[in-house]
Amino acid sequence: MNAIFQGAAWFASLCFALAILLALVRLLRGPAAQDRVLAFDAIYMNGMLTLLMLGIRSGSLVYFGTALLIALFGFVGTVALAKFLLRGEVIEP
C-alpha cells in the first residue's frame, strides 16, 4: 500500500470512531425512543465500516466475515426495535 492510501485509511477509521462516539452520546441522551433506535443503527453501521477498514489495511478475511455478521444482526435488531415501537409487539399472534 502506498502512503496516501494508508493515510486515507487511518483518516477514515478515525472518522468512523468519532461517529461512533457521537452516536453513543445520542443513544444515551436521546429524548425519544426513535432517536435511540437511529443511534443504535448508526453505531452498528460505523462499527461494521471500522471493521471493513481494518480488513482492508491488514488484508485479513476474518474482519470481512465479522463485519457481515454485525450487519446482519444489526439490521435484524433495528427492524425488531422499529416494529416494537410501532405496534408494541415483535411477534404477531
Q: In this structure, is residue 67 part of a structural domain?
A: yes
**Interatomic CA distance for residues 56 and 8, integer angstroms:** 12
**What is the average pLDDT value for the chain, to the nearest integer?**
89
Report the CATH number that the domain containing residue 47 is assigned in CATH. 1.10.287
Q: In this structure, is residue 55 part of a structural domain?
A: yes
Q: In this structure, is residue 63 part of a structural domain?
A: yes
**Interatomic CA distance for residues 15 and 44, integer angstroms:** 14
Residue 83 has pLDDT above 90, yes or no: no
Name the band, by pLDDT with cuts 50, 70 and 90, for residue 21: very high
The structure's pTM equals 0.82
pLDDT, tens digit (0-9, with 9 covering 90-100), for 25-38: 999 998 988 888 89
How many domains are contained in the chain? 1
